[in-house]
A and B are shown apart, each in its own frame.
Chain A
Amino acid sequence: QVQLVQSGGEVKKPGASVKVSCKTSGYNFISYGINWVRQAPGQGFEWMGYINVYNGDTQYLQKLQGRVTMTTDVSTSTAFMEVRSLTYDDTAVYYCVRGQRVAYWGQGTLVTVSS
Chain B
Amino acid sequence: DIQMTQSPSSLSASVGDRVTITCQASQDISHSLSWYQQKPGKAPKLLIYDASNLETGVPLRFSGSRSGTDFTFTISSLQPEDIAIYYCQHYDTLPWTFGQGTKVELK
Contact = CB atoms under 8 A, between A and B. Distances in A.
A108 B87 CA distance: 17
Interface stretch (A12-20, A44-52, A67-75, A82-90): A44-52
A58 to B, nearest CB: 11
A61 interface: yes
Interface residues of A, number: 18
A44 B43 contact: no
A40 interface: no
A95 B43 contact: yes
Contacts of A102: 46, 49, 55
Given A45-B87, A47-B94, A59-B94, A105 B100 contact: no
A50 B46 contact: no
A108 B46 contact: no
A45 B97 CA distance: 8
A107 interface: yes
